[in-house]
Structures are given as structure tokens and as C-alpha cells.
Amino acid sequence: MIAAPQLENRAPDAFLVWYWIALLGLVAAYAVSACGSRPGDPIRIRLAVARSPFTYLPVYLAEPLGYYQAEGLAVEISEFAGGSQSVQSVIGGSADVAAGFYEHAIETTVAGKPLQAFVTMLRYPGMALVVSPRASRAIEQIADLKGLRVGVGTPGSPTHFYLNYLLSQHGLTGDDVGVVAIGAPATAAVAVEAGKVDAAVVGAAMIVLRQRVPQLRVLAESFSPDGVRQTLGADEYPGAALLAKADWLESHADSGRRMARAIVRSLHYIQAHQPDEILQQLPAMYRTDPETDLATMRAFKPLFSIDGRMVAETANVVRRVLAISLGDVRGSQLDLQRTYTNALLPD
């Protein structure tokens, strides 16, 4: 007579235990789904980059060297024809971080879409204004470009801003030339060599062209300290950088710090190794002719920052150059400290 009531009391207790177990399981599953990962899983970073592996070398080295993995990151790289498209993918939300030029941070912030550079990779921009060996007429100086077709990576890109600044220093404006998009290094080199443009602002393509066109005429360059002083009036000029929305960096500070540490480790690796050793770490899909690749690596190695830091004085130089091309920047009272941060860099 006593046993029956005891069994009746245990059944509801067992039911409640299983009910709470099931409920907790559902809550845990929902939490995993909502945040997209489980504790201990790598942190996913969607990185957009222009396909220019020497310009953005630290980004491409961090994976084979294991630096992303060491920081607990799973970095998914999407490549674009130019830095402008990479930046737009961040603004549009399809990427978290862009590898682009610092100019984009100023341009977009003035336009009400604030981006911040949080790792500065290049201390010299590594661009050159070169003349096509098949130019439609003789070109001896920048002023001779009036009325001709001049190539840039993409319209509104740093190569375009550099061109406009050079033209302004020689009595011309951007409207005095026909601007032609020639894309990434490989297509840019072909366009110049084949005479599809009379001249062009190129990056890594300059090394390829020098290999193919020994008498290549260079009207201006920013690969060397002297070139930067002569063409931009500065000792340094921040170029390639990691960029992200300011609010993303605020809400994902830990992810930003991990990414910054990985890229700074890549910068340290570049400083500590010879060009041939660095080249061996670059994924094979980005290597072409060994002689040209080695020459390009030798040209780009001195351009990279040591610590990834932005300096206020050099940021002002970028604004000065941009003001030639962009009226919004020219008329803005923008506080440049909104466009970059060193706070996520390792000490």
C-alpha cells in the first residue's frame, strides 16, 4: 500500500528532470546558432583584398606562417580587382575587414561611412607613373600627358589620387587626361606594354615592366624615400592598411587585436628575412616568373612598416593629397584621429 504512492511521486520528478535537460539543450543549440561558433572554435574573419600579393604581402604571409591560426582566427579571403571594391564590401557588410589604402578611411569617413585603419602595412605607397613604350607621342615630362590616356588601377583608387596630385603639381587637372582602368598588376603590365594607355600609375607592375622594357621611362615614383619626398613632399606616406568599420572595431575589439597581432608578426617576419626566403612563403598561386618575383620582392621589402603604427603627421600628408581629387575632403574639418587607431596593436 505504501509503494504505489512512492512510484506516483517519482514519475513527475523524472519527467521534470528530462524536461529541463531538453530545454537547456535547446537553449544551448540556439546560442551556438546565434553566434555562429562554439567556445574554442576559431574566430571567423571575412577579409576583402585587392589581388596584389606584394602590396598586401603581410595578409598573404600570415596564413602559411601560421599566424592566423596562432591567434585563433579562421580568415576567409575574398579577392577583388581593386582596393575600392574591397572597401565597398566592408561598407556593404559582406566583409569584416578590408586590406586597402589609408586614403579610403578618410574618403569614406568624410562621406558619413566611418572606417578606421588599425594596422598600417606600407610606409611608402609603392606606386610609379610610367610611360608606355607604345605611347601615341613622345612623353618627356608629366605636363606632356595632357590629352592622353593614362591608366590607373580603378577610378577613385589610390593610384588615381596619386595621378591627380602629380598632375596638379605640373599645371594640369584630372580632366586634362583620359583615365582608363587597367586593374591588378598582371593586367596593368599588359595594358602599358601593349600601348592600350599612353602612361599609367602602377604598383608591382613596374617591376614586371622593367624586366620586359629595359628603357622604361619613369616620370615619378614613390618606392623610395627620395621618390616620396620629390613627388609627395613627405618622408613617409602610409599606404596599404587593414580597414574596418569603426563600430565593428568597437564591438569586435578582441578580433581586431588578434588580426593586428597576426599582421604585425608578418611585418616582423618581412623585416627579419631575405627576399628569397620571404618569397618561398608566398603561396605558389601568386608566384610567376622566379626572376621577376624576386626583383619585385626586393623592391617591396623596404616599403613595409616595422610596427604597423600610424603617425599623425603622415596622415595629414594623405589628406593633403586627397584634397586635390575630392572636394568633400577639401572642404572638411575632419578630425583625422577618427580615421585610424593604434590601440589594437601589440605593445
Residue 18 scores a pLDDT above 90: no
CA 54, 58, 61, 63 dihedral sign is negative
Between residues 231 and 15, the one the model is more confident about: 231
Q: What is the pLDDT of residue 38?
A: 55
| Integer angstrom CA distances of residue 343 from 82, 88, 209 | 27, 24, 39
- Indicate whether 313 belongs to any domain: yes
216 shares a domain with 199:
yes
242 shares a domain with 119:
yes
Mean pLDDT, rounded, for 185-203: 95
Q: In what order do the strands lie in the sheet with 128-131?
A: 178-181, 149-152, 199-202, 128-131, 218-221
- Indicate whether 5 belongs to any domain: no
183 shares a domain with 111:
no
Please state which of the ranges 30-39, 45-54, 170-179 shows the lowest mean pLDDT: 30-39
286 shares a domain with 161:
no
136 shares a domain with 75:
no
Which of 221, 254, 278 lies at the terminal end of a domain, its last residue? Answer: 221
- Indicate whether 32 belongs to any domain: no
Mean pLDDT, rounded, for 209-216: 92
80 shares a domain with 166:
no
Average pLDDT over all residues of the chain: 89
Domain limits for position 242:
43-124+237-338
Sort 154 into a burial class: Cβ within 10 Å, 0-12 / 13-18 / 19+. buried
- Indicate whether 93 belongs to any domain: yes
Q: What is the pLDDT of residue 81?
A: 78
Q: What is the pLDDT of residue 13?
A: 52
- Indicate whether 109 belongs to any domain: yes
Between residues 273 and 81, the one the model is more confident about: 273
Residue 236 scores a pLDDT above 70: yes
Q: What is the pLDDT of residue 162?
A: 97
Calpha distance 258→167 (Å, rounded): 41
Residue 16 scores a pLDDT above 50: no
Q: What is the pLDDT of residue 15?
A: 43
- Indicate whether 208 belongs to any domain: yes
Which of 186, 221, 256 lies at the terminal end of a domain, its last residue? Answer: 221
Q: Quick: pLDDT tens for 71-109.
A: 999 999 999 877 888 999 999 999 999 999 999 999 999
Residue 70 is part of a domain; what is its CATH number?
A: 3.40.190.10
Q: Are 235 and 225 in contact (CB under 8 A)?
A: yes
Residue 181 scores a pLDDT above 90: yes
Q: Quick: pLDDT tens for 143-166.
A: 999 999 999 998 988 999 999 999
78 shares a domain with 217:
no
- Indicate whether 54 belongs to any domain: yes
What band does 39 get if pLDDT is binned at 50, 70 and 90? low
Q: Which residues contact 146 (CB under 8 A, 6 or more apart)?
A: 172, 176, 177
Mean pLDDT, rounded, for 157-185: 95
Q: What is the pLDDT of residue 252?
A: 97
- Indicate whether 13 belongs to any domain: no
What band does 186 get if pLDDT is binned at 50, 70 and 90? confident
161 shares a domain with 210:
yes
188 shares a domain with 119:
no
Number of domains in the chain: 2
248 shares a domain with 103:
yes
241 shares a domain with 116:
yes
116 shares a domain with 60:
yes
Q: What percent of the chain has pLDDT over 70?
A: 89
Q: What is the pLDDT of residue 183?
A: 87
Which of 166, 187, 221 lies at the terminal end of a domain, its last residue? Answer: 221
